[in-house]
Chain A
């Protein structure tokens, strides 16, 4: 194990990617503490407030402890819109450990590192809470996809004949539906009055329903060749049950492929969840996910005048890129022949 990690991390990119992912997971794990605001926080009077400016040099030109000013909302008749102005009368120092959070400002002050959204919620805090969803959905789906795919492919390949034909025709039919179309019709059947935990679980299941077929087909192909090996015949002679042979003797042989496929498919699940939530079919408000936070970026005025609403997209990009780089390194280690082959 140690040897393996050493070899994988010799790749500078993979190592950096690993550090970034570790940081991301630590931050979302302690989101309640790190985020300056709670997940329920919303200030209706401050919708679309721009990011707070943080100063470290005061009016006298001297270095100072970081501080910020509050914004006040004003209606500007000449522009016919509300604008935000800084209230320069009172300084708010950013201090560690305020009100049980890692950092923040004194009561009465507002610290919006990345501005606020339409409901006056702090985008920075929501990014952390949304990360919890976006960074875990993909993983959980994998733990549904792989057992199903392994068992399905294993049974189909092991028994062969009519069982194999029927099972593979069904898998092919699932694969023949353009996956995103299937994803949206599945997501659309979710009833609306669900709790966020139920919804989260079902999204995980739906994402899994898309990916299993392709995986099962590859497993079946591998099982077809493994079952001809002598040790399988030996097991049969010794009277092992079919299920035992499949689970204990055949499927473990596919392990290195499974690990490669798993590490390489995390990114596509992250992308699928964010795409679904972006369309409004995935995780619903008021819960945050990076995809549904980007939903606000569908409006022209938002993307042109409120660029801070685009930050979730950058985080999705960073997470997916890191998983890709790490996955490439794992594959190169486990399967040196296919150096950076498959996409």
Chain B
């Protein structure tokens, strides 16, 4: 019961947070000197009448707080409005968000299943050649700019021809059977996922190594050893459990970092995700689209943090308190 009350409280807390976020971003975007109707204005076949209608529809003739109020009202009702090109924002988001989530989740799954074991081994074999090599590799992984690495991967893909370049699906995707669809998406995911994986792996491995070192040095592990427990039991039953808990908090941060990091990678690989959508929208000063994708990004980030906290409550009895 306590547990559900906590979750409910956390969800309620996000509401003021979202309001502040939307205020901040709305006013920033409206400061933009880019005219959201520039494309229409330059089009000779669009009459002044249509333009006026557009201005009315987007409320561009009213003061900024009225614009915000009308945006907020329709947002709460679930109406995200139309893009400046006339498409429904919700439709656009519906096709982009799952792609970004897919990429992020695949990457988190990969980094955790590789980074945690590597962290444990390097802590356990502290200051051996293996540990040193990993430290050097992780320094390299953290220093390489994601977009530069993505470009290098593109060269690799084009030169070898092993992986398709750009997008998430091939042109004949709709005619494929279920399994070839699956394989097609997987093949498109390999490169962007690999880029993000390499970059977030280093941080995770280092953090896990540091936690593990701290735990291995603690009194209860010494005691467990003194009791004559086998090394396997000491490491997996006593040390690991305590070292993993702080990592779960990190999971939320990692999710946030990936959302941001993915934007550049998505851009280079022409991956149809949220990051690229918001980038295109910002360039065109498409208020509805920017606002909606920004809010979705924020909600995803908050939800990621909340999930991490819930997970932590399940694994760490001290937090439940």
Contact residues of A with B, CB < 8 Å? 169-170, 172-174, 176-182, 184-186, 188-189, 191-192, 267, 271, 274-275, 278-279, 294, 297-298, 300, 303-304, 310, 313, 316-317, 320-321, 324-325, 328, 338-343
A169 is contacted by which of B20, B33, B158, B282 (Cβ under 8 Å)? B20
Q: Other than A173-B20, A275-B264, A342-B206, give 16 A-B pairs with Cβ distance below 8 A.
A: A173-B24, A176-B301, A176-B302, A177-B25, A177-B294, A179-B256, A181-B263, A181-B294, A185-B32, A185-B278, A188-B282, A189-B31, A275-B145, A278-B264, A304-B158, A313-B148
- Please determine whether A184 and B151 come into contact, CB atoms closer than 8 angstroms: no
Contact residues of B with A, CB < 8 Å? 16-17, 20-21, 24-25, 28-29, 31-34, 135, 139-140, 142-148, 151-152, 154-155, 158-159, 202-204, 206-207, 209-211, 213, 256, 259-261, 263-264, 267-268, 275, 278-279, 282-283, 285, 290, 293-294, 297-298, 301-302
Question: Roughly how many angstroms separate A172 CA and B256 CA in the complex, as a whole number?
Answer: 13
- Please determine whether A178 and B298 come into contact, CB atoms closer than 8 angstroms: yes
Contacts of B146 on A, CB cut-off 8 Å?
275
Question: Roughly how many angstroms separate A173 CA and B256 CA in the complex, as a whole number?
Answer: 13
- Please determine whether A317 and B263 come into contact, CB atoms closer than 8 angstroms: no
- Please determine whether A341 and B143 come into contact, CB atoms closer than 8 angstroms: no
Q: 21 A-B contacts, Cβ less than 8 Å apart? A: A169-B20, A178-B298, A186-B28, A188-B282, A189-B31, A191-B33, A275-B145, A275-B146, A279-B264, A298-B151, A298-B268, A317-B144, A338-B210, A339-B210, A340-B206, A340-B210, A341-B210, A342-B206, A343-B142, A343-B202, A343-B203
Question: Roughly how many angstroms separate A272 CA and B25 CA in the complex, as a whole number?
Answer: 19
- Please determine whether A279 and B139 come into contact, CB atoms closer than 8 angstroms: no
Contacts of B203 on A, CB cut-off 8 Å?
343
Question: Roughly how many angstroms separate A320 CA and B148 CA in the complex, as a whole number?
Answer: 13
- Please determine whether A185 and B28 come into contact, CB atoms closer than 8 angstroms: yes
- Please determine whether B213 and A339 come into contact, CB atoms closer than 8 angstroms: yes
- Please determine whether B263 and A180 come into contact, CB atoms closer than 8 angstroms: yes
- Please determine whether A178 and B29 come into contact, CB atoms closer than 8 angstroms: no
Contacts of B20 on A, CB cut-off 8 Å?
169-170, 173
Contacts of B301 on A, CB cut-off 8 Å?
176-178
Contacts of A275 on B, CB cut-off 8 Å?
145-147, 264
Shortest CB-to-CB span from B280 to chain A, Å, is 10
- Number of A-B residue pairs, CB cutoff 8 Å, is 145
Shortest CB-to-CB span from B85 to chain A, Å, is 17
- Please determine whether B268 and A185 come into contact, CB atoms closer than 8 angstroms: no
Contacts of B298 on A, CB cut-off 8 Å?
176-178
Tell me the dominant secondary structure on chain A's binding face. helix
- Please determine whether A185 and B267 come into contact, CB atoms closer than 8 angstroms: no
B279 is contacted by which of A191, A279, A313 (Cβ under 8 Å)? A279
CB nearest to B207 among chain A residues: A343
Known A169-B16, A189-B31; judge A184-B207 contact (CB<8 A). Answer: no
Question: Roughly how many angstroms separate A107 CA and B158 CA in the complex, as a whole number?
Answer: 41
Question: Roughly how many angstroms separate A343 CA and B203 CA in the complex, as a whole number?
Answer: 5
- Please determine whether B17 and A176 come into contact, CB atoms closer than 8 angstroms: yes
- Please determine whether A172 and B33 come into contact, CB atoms closer than 8 angstroms: no
- Please determine whether A274 and B279 come into contact, CB atoms closer than 8 angstroms: no
Shortest CB-to-CB span from B214 to chain A, Å, is 8
Shortest CB-to-CB span from A308 to chain B, Å, is 13
Question: What 7 A-B pairs have minimum CB-CB distances, sorted nearest first?
Answer: A343-B203, A180-B260, A313-B148, A321-B143, A341-B210, A173-B20, A320-B143
A321 is contacted by which of B29, B139, B158, B259 (Cβ under 8 Å)? B139
A177 is contacted by which of B16, B21, B34, B140 (Cβ under 8 Å)? B21
CB nearest to A188 among chain B residues: B282
Shortest CB-to-CB span from A313 to chain B, Å, is 4
Question: Roughly how many angstroms separate A186 CA and B32 CA in the complex, as a whole number?
Answer: 9
CB nearest to A337 among chain B residues: B214
Question: Roughly how many angstroms separate A185 CA and B25 CA in the complex, as a whole number?
Answer: 8
Contacts of B302 on A, CB cut-off 8 Å?
176
- Please determine whether B33 and A177 come into contact, CB atoms closer than 8 angstroms: no
Known A169-B16, A176-B301, A343-B202; judge A303-B145 contact (CB<8 A). Answer: no
Question: Roughly how many angstroms separate A172 CA and B24 CA in the complex, as a whole number?
Answer: 12
Shortest CB-to-CB span from B262 to chain A, Å, is 9
